[in-house]
Amino acid sequence: MQTAGSGSIVDRVMGILRLNVPTYEEVERDENATTQAAIIVGIVAVASGIGALGSDDGSTALRIIFGILSAFIGWFVFSAVAWIVGTKMLPGKNTSATIGELLRTLGFAQAPNILSVFGIIGTFGALIAFVGSIWYLVCAVIALRQALEMSTGRAIAVGLIAAIISVIVLIPLALILGVSGAMTG
């Protein structure tokens, strides 16, 4: 069943950043919010690329393009693995979720990582980006907890297992992209 959400992308991002559980629930239910979640992932990927400009080695455009591609692949892979782990391996008593619900909630949970744009200003900027990363982890745990209808402890376990599996799955892709990037750069 498709439900129309009334929340604008800005209102939803603000709710996610405030760790407002009803916002996570709204995003989870609104099938139309997947596009908004993808926009957040894209914005964060571009912000990360800009933040990395301080370590420019001459292949900036190529790194930003691969960064955006990697962000979308990573978002999908982590969401899919978290769905498998959360619904098949470690489901809670009330766990019921779709891959779309995880894509939406985890996409919006990435919003604090927009602070990675400050990486461009050196050490202080890197500290700001680090704060964004910690904030993202909290948002991701809440996203997993709400989308998978489980306890916070179980959501943390799902997140850790899904992260490990995702890294293992994504390493070959990163190596391939790194080799092709080196060949074209």
Q: Residue 111: what residue type? A: A
Residue 2's pLDDT is 36
37-55: average pLDDT: 88
Q: Where are the domains of the chain?
A: 9-184
Using the predicted structure, report yes or no on whether residue 116 has a pLDDT greater than 80: yes
Using the predicted structure, report yes or no on whether residue 63 has a pLDDT greater than 80: no
Query: pLDDT tens across 19-42, in order?
Result: 999 999 999 999 999 999 999 999
80 C-beta neighbours (distance < 10 Å), count:
17
Confidence category of residue 174, pLDDT binned at 50, 70, 90: confident
CA distance 51 to 159: 26
Using the predicted structure, report yes or no on whether residue 61 has a pLDDT greater than 90: no
CA distance 40 to 114: 9
Residue 50's pLDDT is 85
Residue 1's pLDDT is 35
Confidence category of residue 18, pLDDT binned at 50, 70, 90: very high
CA distance 148 to 178: 34
